[in-house]
Structure 1
Amino acid sequence: MIIGLGHNIRRRRKKLGLTQAELAEGIISVPYLSLIENEKAHPKPDILNPLAKRLRTSQKELLGVTDRHVLRKAENLIDKIRNALVYEDDQEAQSNLEELKQLADLIADPKVLIKTDLLEINCLIHFSEATYEEKLKAFETKWEQLEDDANLMVWYLRIKGNILFMKDQLDQALFYYKEAEKVIPQVTDELEKAYIYGNLGKTYLLSSNPSLGILYTEKAIAIMMRKDRWMEMCSMLNILGACHTHKGDYKDAIACFERVLRIADQFNFSKMLLSRTFHELGVCYLKLKDYNQAIASLHRSLEVVQPEKLPDWEVGSVHRVLCQTYLATGRLNQAEEHITQAISLLKGRERMKTECLIFLGQIHYLRENYAEFSQCYQEAIDTFLQLGTPEKVAHAAHTLGTYYIHSGHREEGVHYLLLAVEYYHRLVPGYDFDVLFPEPLQLT
């Protein structure tokens, strides 16, 4: 195991604020200490003892030896925290994390310490604490050879991807998830594999590639079923159903959502899961043009979560779909009311917030407020360009360009239509063929 003595020496040295020169003085040379810390040399007891004294610890702790009872307790707490995050039990996750962090002072095993640090970052992200990026930087400095353990490396890459996903930077998030996928053959933790597959499925869904979304989400569901992880499996079923909705396979989508509701009847699941299921059902019914069912499901999404509270961005997302539904039925006042609420709640979710500008623009168009309509679309296109979402750039530019052409503004219309062509091309690359004719066949 490469992660061991050298990492413990470096970790302890940095914790005490010692330089390599200060630790090595009178004991060994700095280059030799560097070799030890990088696991390229293994000191004998006559060197390790004085190093341990200067580090105010014991040989035993530096060697990574920890009481088995303490290790079992720590691993049990780690499992409890991960489960609490899945079941949205924030209070239990927080209390168990505090206990685990106190226990960490008695632990020398670097694997457990890395898991503890990763869990703390996970919790900070889950609780929307702004310090998670600072903690992640400290983690990357502290554990320089993380790649030596595939299970921990995948977990770390998943966290990096999740942070970017939260910021709607889907291409960058996908990069880290794909890097994690490369490590999966060496991963022994089946749940980590499932989480990566699920994240890939969700990201491909939002990147307008529902076919790949289905492929990866089904992989995640298969693992969750084998492990009897019903809550996570239902979350994956919601993603799978959303992929089917995006593809226009509404029967398959509804089957996924109804399966979640049946399973939820058998377990004490978080109300947030049910809220998300009704949300996705509402989207599906909207696509089917069953507007009454869509409105009923979306309102149910907001009602079922009480007294629990959805994050603001999720409430905003429901209001956004309610706006679409009322817009489709011509009820512009209700549509505007919901889109205004959505915009105010979607702070920090730039992609969703920008989609709201499109719907607000449509409301202005139907009211013949054409200046406000074009302003909304221009602002949306600029933001979609910054976010790197080619499909949304193409569709919005196509609409705005068509409007300008029909309203006699040819120059502006051509500009936006050419932009649409450019970004449609990025979605569906053209077929390459030779310009010149082939040589004529020599007939005999």
Structure 2
Amino acid sequence: MELKLGDKIRQRRKQMGLTLKELAGDRVTAAQISAVEKGKCRPSPGLLQYIAERLNVDVEYFTLSDEEKARKQFKEIYGIALKLYKEGKYDEALKKINKAESILQLLNDEQKGCFYYIQGNCFYEKGDFNTSFDLLIKAQSYYIKTRKKEITADIYIKIGNSLFNTHKQNMALGYYLNAYRFIDEDMDSDIKARILFDLALCYLSLKRLNLAREFLDKAVEFIKQKQWPKKERFLPGIEMIRGAIDRETNQIKESLIRFNEAFERYKRDGDVTGMGRARNNAALCLWDIGDMEKSVKYFREAIDYKVISGDCTLIDTYLNLVEAYKEMGNIEGAINALNEAEEKMIKQNNESGLIKVFLAKFQYHSELKEYDRAEIYAFIALDYIQKQGDIKEESKLYMKLSEMYRAAGDEKSAVDYIVKARSITL
């Protein structure tokens, strides 16, 4: 129940340990303060200002409802958190927005959505896509009540991206299509282009090339027709998707040309993240045509760019490099790349990346029939996987352990891990 003005004054006075006389000071009497607290008289604006100053609060502390105060406080917190987020200070932004948790229940739906939206975006940029997904789902549940199409569509895109980056493309597609439903003539051009672009990319990853081309063509046509400040940033991405489609259809030389063109566009734009991804894809093309030396060189360049930009796909390029070294028979290079990747993931506190590193080490030592070492890395990976609660990945690892034990001649352990894999997925 909302306290009355007098009750608020009394409550604040007692919090500060003041008597009526101490609060009254030399300007009014204790009796006057008592009358105000009991609701027998309403203080003038001047007296209320005096009381507020004596109690070290703003006048609004007494005049606004709890909800009004909370919502005003949130606006200030959110504004600072958003600024920190845009500056790339994600931990600081999280620390700031988390201060609003105590007043969350007093906020309106849009503000609750903002609270989870900032959190979700920060974790997304930090590469923690599972946490990002959970928080953005909460944001979406509040924003959808506001009937604000653009922000709701934007959240669907971000949820889709979180899923896409954890290799859950089919689920991601559903969210991209949900965002697509909101497209209309009045939608912000940048959001509309992103929806079309992400749909093309998702269909590409699912090997549904006709649909990938269809949505890419829609994106290109839309970008040609519309003028808005950020449109140029989509152009290298279009080359990237075209290059990927070419590679999927074994047009490797054409693909390499497109990735190199994308790299130059990203370079002109100063987009280091894009430069890293374009170099990685070009390296894959060079691998396809058998130019392993240049492929390794490009993977190394991609890693350098991704380290600079803090790209969440850094680990994937490291793993590509490892496989390239293995293809060349360069065992030392592969091991060094894995160890380097592990150091980078630890430095970034990237648990998802560490899982990939330890799984790669497990696989590598299994292939070398160094089963004892492989087992160690498998159990380290398992520990991280269980912390994340990823039952599907846990089951897959049990199956791989079963295969390893069978190869090592330990049939009992092989059977035990098959049973474990099946039991957790029932």
Q: TM-score, normalised by structure 2?
A: 0.69
Change beyond 3 A, Cα 1:386–1:124: closer
- Flag structure 2 segments of 5+ consecutive residues without an equivalent: 26-38, 396-420
Q: Match for residue 315 of structure 2?
A: 354
1:182-201 matched pairs, under 5 angstroms: 182-201=141-160
Find the aligned partners of 1:27 and 1:224 in 2 and give their Cα distance. 61
Deviation at residue 246 of structure 1 after TM alignment? 1.9
Q: 1:275 aligns with which of 236, 251, 257?
A: 236
Q: For 1:198 and 1:319, how far apart are their aligned partners in 2?
A: 25
Report the more deviating stretch, 335-344 or 380-389. 380-389
SS in structure 1 opposite 2:133? Answer: helix
What is the RMSD of the two structures over their aligned residues, measured on CA atoms?
4.4
Q: Is the 2:94–2:122 contact (alpha carbons within 8 Å) kept by the matching residues of 1? A: no
Deviation of 1:235 (Å): 0.8
Other-structure match for 1:374: 335
Instruction: Give the 3 Å change call, closer, same or farther, for CA 136–391 of structure 1 in structure 2.
Output: closer
**Aligned equivalents of 1:290, 1:157: Cα separation in 2:** 43
- Structure 1: any 5+ residue segments left out of the alignment? 29-41, 65-107, 434-444
Give 1:369 deviation, angstroms.
1.5
Residues 1:411 and 2:377 are matched in the alignment: no
Q: Closer, same or farther in 2 for the Cα pair 1:124/1:315, shift >3 Å? A: farther
> Does residue 52 of the first structure (1) align with residue 13 of the second (2)?
no
State how far apart, in whole Å, the 1-side matches of 2:200 and 2:40 are.
Answer: 57
Match of 1:265 in 2: 224
Question: Which residue of 103, 108, 116 corresponds with 1:149?
Answer: 108
Number of the residue aligned with 1:319: 279
- Distance across 1 between alignment mates of 2:211 and 2:250: 16
**1:277 Cα deviation from its structure 2 partner:** 2.6
Task: Indicate which of 228, 231, 235 corresponds to 2:194.
Answer: 235
Count of residues paired in the alignment = 364
The residue number in structure 1 matching 2:292 is: 332
Question: In the TM superposition, what is the alpha-carbon distance from 1:393 to its structure 2 partner?
Answer: 5.7
**Alignment partner of 2:392 out of 420, 426, 444:** 426
Write the letter of the residue equivalent to 1:396.
A
Higher helix share: 2
For 1:370 and 1:19, how far apart are their aligned partners in 2? 73
Out of 197, 206, 213, the residue aligned to residue 172 of structure 2 is 213
The counterpart of 1:300, out of the listed 252, 258, 261, is: 261
AA at the equivalent of 2:99: T
> Following the alignment from structure 1 to structure 2, what is the Cα–Cα distance between the partners of residues 223 and 200?
15
Q: Which has the larger radius of gyration?
A: 2
Q: Alpha carbons of 1:23 and 1:182: their partners in 2 closer, same or farther (altered >3 Å)? A: farther
Aligned to 2:127, the other structure's residue is in SS state coil
Distance across 1 between alignment mates of 2:306 and 2:244: 18
Counterpart contact for 1:278–1:301, Cα < 8 Å: yes
Amino acid at match of 2:287: L
Q: What corresponds to 2:16 in structure 1? A: 21
Aligned pair partner of 1:134 in 48, 68, 92: 92
The answer to whether the 8 Å contact 2:361/2:374 transfers is no
TM-score normalised by L of structure 1:
0.67
